[in-house]
Chain A
Amino acid sequence: DAKTTQPTSMDCAEGRAANLPCNHSTISGNEYVYWYRQIHSQGPQYIIHGLKNNETNEMASLIITEDRKSSTLILPHATLRDTAVYYCIAQYGQNFVFGPGTRLSVLP
């Protein structure tokens, strides 16, 4: 079973920041937090990952709480193309366990 919980769905206005929360209260010290998204039935697309520190790349920012029990993915300026299912995965090693994710709808 997935070790993370996420809201089932969220809406965000186009051009605004989308903040997607994830709880991983049972995460262990060596497990990374990964974020992927899936648009329609395409292959999951890597967004970002981190262990303890906050991370930023060209797509998003990842904020991990100090106790590592939760994190937030931030899409700074959401566009209609960001409408997708977003998956938060807490994992060490090769076997990614996907939960149901958060369905983000970016509204015009």
Chain B
Amino acid sequence: EPEVTQTPSHQVTQMGQEVILRCVPISNHLYFYWYRQILGQKVEFLVSFYNNEISEKSEIFDDQFSVERPDGSNFTLKIRSTKLEDSAMYFCASSRTGVSNEQFFGPGTRLTVL
């Protein structure tokens, strides 16, 4: 069964450093998403991406975040200058359509900012 994959599984970085989190969505899916979950808290939507542009973003997704689909398979989340409060699990998801269609989530990347 096809699945969403994410790398790395765990990333440790120093405050102020840039990190790139990588995702490979399911191959015939057209919509891509990033969510985050701070330890012990709810899963929070960050951004959705379709047709090579952002279609929706939350208040959390400020100027320090960016997303890119650099080739036909990868979908990346970049955090430009990490802060301590960026420490969280980051989940990538993909779906075939943007409405009435289930989103499939990856296993997540645990980001630890020191």
Residues of A within 8 A of B (CB): 32, 34, 36, 38, 41-46, 49, 51, 87, 92-100
From B56, B91, B102, B110, A94 is in contact (CB under 8 Å) with B56
CA distance A98 to B103 in the complex (A): 13
Query: Can you spell out 10 A-B residue pairs with CB atoms less than 8 angstroms apart?
Result: A32-B100, A41-B108, A43-B4, A43-B105, A43-B106, A45-B105, A49-B102, A93-B56, A94-B98, A96-B43
The residue in chain A whose Cβ has the minimal distance to the Cβ of B107 is A43
Tell me the interface secondary structure of chain A in the complex: loop
Contacts of B48 in A (CB 8 A): 94-95
Residues of B within 8 A of A (CB): 4, 31, 33, 35, 37, 42-45, 48, 50, 55-56, 58, 89, 91, 93, 95, 98-100, 102-108, 110
Smallest CB separation, B78 vs chain A (Å): 20
From B35, B42, B89, B95, A100 is in contact (CB under 8 Å) with B42
CA distance A63 to B104 in the complex (A): 22
CA distance A92 to B31 in the complex (A): 14
Q: Is the CB of A95 within 8 A of B45?
A: yes
Contacts A38-B43, A100-B42: A93 and B108 contacting too (C-beta < 8 A)? Answer: no
CA distance A36 to B103 in the complex (A): 10
From A41, A96, A99, B103 is in contact (CB under 8 Å) with A96
Smallest CB separation, B71 vs chain A (Å): 22
Contacts A93-B56, A94-B56: A99 and B107 contacting too (C-beta < 8 A)? Answer: no
Smallest CB separation, A55 vs chain B (Å): 12
The residue in chain A whose Cβ has the minimal distance to the Cβ of B105 is A43
CA distance A77 to B89 in the complex (A): 31
Smallest CB separation, B56 vs chain A (Å): 5
